[in-house]
Chains A and B, each alone.
Chain A
Amino acid sequence: MVAALEQAFSQSDFVVTGEVGPPKGTDVGELIEHIDLLKDKVDGLNVTDNQSSVMRISSLAVCRLIKDRGGEPILQLTCRDRNRMALQSELLAAAIQGIHNVLCLTGDYTSVGDHPQCKPVFDLDSVQLLQTVGLMNQGKDLAGNEMQGATDLFPGAVVTPEADPIEPQMLKFEKKVAAGARFFQTQAVYDLDNFKRFMEQARKHDVKIMAGLVLLVSAGMARYMNKNVPGIFVPDALIKEMAAAEKGKAVSVGIQVMGRMIRQLRDEKVCDGVHIMAIGKEDRVPDILKAAE
């Protein structure tokens, strides 16, 4: 069976994915609201995997929730918490539940999260995880054993167009392509000229590229990310635009900014789609999509 996301890439020039973050605890009320709000408005919904190394509901369980509610889940799978046995059994578990899309990630280091004392795993890296997906799709596990039934997973990966330095990042990007990544969601981009330069390189490969977009909610957030988040660069002009927002209107300005970026990326055919990260403002994603029309 072809994943709905894979189908979207072949049928549409511009694919849109969103993202939900599983909560810490069993109260999934707000999560379900967000899923129901977004599932029919996007081509796929990422589910983060203990994001920022903070312990939460497993990505796979929330993917199943999305699937049961008629959405198209994208399983984020990091190498931080599972060795190669656990990663493979997670991939099999996803496959038998009809969860086809898997975004293969290294994962943040444990020390940045809420259980800094825990043992970091990193048995495989993201490139090796992509290779593992490829093997399992052919009916074999990483040790070369034949499996009873192959997976039918659609593997994706991430890349940071603003990485400093960029050369080793691009070498790794090429390895991810060689390891079988079919689609990429990028780290958040704000400088579309830089992004276009990245796309000139990325376009040499037969993979789908989605620009990652994080909703700006204030000028302070933009400055904070510039200072503290690796691989994110918000240009001065955008920070000024956010700072000029009337009191209480900064989020609306951020929505307009993102809408404008999506329009440009789509109308100029810069890339194959966008991945919208609204981080805590998932309820505003419909407004973003409206602003992008």
Chain B
Amino acid sequence: MIVAERKSIDQIDAMIEGFEKILVVGCGTCVAVCMAGGEKEGELLSAELRMKAKLASKQRVVDEITITRQCDKEYLDELSKHAEGYDAILSMACGAGVQLLAERYDEKIVLPALNTLFIGVAEGAGVWTQRCMACHDCVLDQTGGVCPMTICPKNLLNGPCGGTNGGKCEVDSEKDCAWTLIYQKLKKLGRLDYLRKIQPPKDYSLMTKPGRHTHAAFKETQAEE
């Protein structure tokens, strides 16, 4: 899932300076799970913004609503009956959700309340770690399910660098060395032969931005039309 964290209250407060009526829009999917932009976090942010305005003797109305997903036009349509009359919409979605919201309501000022961090997993209570770079060419079949593009800061494809130390990484001694993990996993699986094959350079042309993907079934439909 997409992992995000909320911007500081001071940063958000500065962003909405000059606007009196604010609609905070939570997103009920990834960012709700990582406790950054779901219903609860939307309520909390709204309360904080109201309090901040009150303390500064500013006029400010803050309402909140949470929709299922902001990265899907279908769910954004639900907002149309709520969005009227607000000076600004504060989106608590990831960067993708903020952009689709801004596109759908293009006469509105749409502002981001979160910083998007990465595609990751829940590692423990309140802890998420990055696991995927969306490189368009998954190599996990050859690396025992550990991603060298993501877990290794240097995205090395052919083994550890000289900075590996006791199974930890030179960049952050708290973090595991991807290639120690890969080695241990492949050894356990009896597939160390994978490590003997020289991996060619990555094809970065696949990652040319912005990505666009059409599902095969829809490609056929479009071709027919």
Binding site for B on A (CB under 8 A): 79-80, 84, 106-109, 111-112, 120, 122-128, 131, 142, 158, 160, 163-165, 167-169, 171-172, 174-175, 178-179, 187, 230-231
> In the complex, which of the residues A122, A125, A171 contacts B196, with contact meaning CB atoms closer than 8 Å?
A171
> In the complex, which of the residues A79, A172, A178 contacts B160, with contact meaning CB atoms closer than 8 Å?
A172
Q: How far is the CA of A230 from the CA of B202 in the complex (A)?
A: 27
CB closest chain-B residue, reference A186? B162
Additional A-B contact list (13), CB under 8 Å, known A167-B187, A168-B180: A80-B154, A109-B163, A109-B171, A112-B171, A123-B204, A125-B157, A125-B158, A126-B158, A131-B198, A163-B162, A172-B159, A174-B196, A231-B162
* Contact A168 B162, beta carbon cutoff 8 Å: no
Chain A residues contacting B192 (CB-CB under 8 Å) are: 171
Please report which residues of chain B, range 155-179, place their CB below 8 angstroms from some CB of chain A when the two chains form the complex.
155-167, 170-171, 179
> In the complex, which of the residues A84, A112, A122, A127 contacts B155, with contact meaning CB atoms closer than 8 Å?
A122
Knowing A109-B153, A168-B179, the reply to whether A175 touches B163 (Cβ < 8 A) is no
* Contact B159 A112, beta carbon cutoff 8 Å: no
* Residue B190 interfacial (CB < 8 Å): no
Chain A residues contacting B198 (CB-CB under 8 Å) are: 127-128, 131, 175, 178-179
Chain A residues contacting B182 (CB-CB under 8 Å) are: 168
Q: How far is the CA of A142 from the CA of B203 in the complex (A)?
A: 12
Dominant secondary structure at the B interface: loop
CB distance from A59 to the nearest CB of B (A): 17
* Contact A163 B164, beta carbon cutoff 8 Å: yes
Q: How far is the CA of A101 from the CA of B156 in the complex (A)?
A: 24
* Contact A165 B167, beta carbon cutoff 8 Å: yes
Chain A residues contacting B155 (CB-CB under 8 Å) are: 122
* Contact B156 A106, beta carbon cutoff 8 Å: yes
Binding site for A on B (CB under 8 A): 153-167, 170-171, 179-180, 182-183, 187, 192, 195-196, 198-202, 204
Q: How far is the CA of A257 from the CA of B97 in the complex (A)?
A: 63
* Contact A171 B154, beta carbon cutoff 8 Å: no
Chain B residues contacting A179 (CB-CB under 8 Å) are: 198
Chain B residues contacting A122 (CB-CB under 8 Å) are: 154-156
Knowing A123-B204, A128-B201, the reply to whether A106 touches B161 (Cβ < 8 A) is yes
Chain B residues contacting A108 (CB-CB under 8 Å) are: 163, 170
* Contact B180 A127, beta carbon cutoff 8 Å: no
CB distance from A166 to the nearest CB of B (A): 10
Q: How far is the CA of A187 from the CA of B164 in the complex (A)?
A: 12
Q: How far is the CA of A141 from the CA of B196 in the complex (A)?
A: 24
CB distance from A78 to the nearest CB of B (A): 10
Q: How far is the CA of A175 from the CA of B197 in the complex (A)?
A: 8
* Contact B162 A125, beta carbon cutoff 8 Å: no
> In the complex, which of the residues B195, B202, B204 contacts A171, with contact meaning CB atoms closer than 8 Å?
B195
9 A-B pairs whose Cβ atoms sit less than 8 Å apart in the complex:
A79-B154, A106-B156, A108-B163, A122-B154, A128-B158, A128-B200, A164-B164, A168-B164, A174-B196
Q: How far is the CA of A131 from the CA of B202 in the complex (A)?
A: 14
Chain A residues contacting B154 (CB-CB under 8 Å) are: 79-80, 106-107, 109, 120, 122, 125
* Contact B159 A175, beta carbon cutoff 8 Å: yes
Q: How far is the CA of A172 from the CA of B164 in the complex (A)?
A: 13
* Contact B180 A165, beta carbon cutoff 8 Å: yes
Q: How far is the CA of A107 from the CA of B158 in the complex (A)?
A: 14
Knowing A120-B154, A178-B198, the reply to whether A230 touches B170 (Cβ < 8 A) is yes
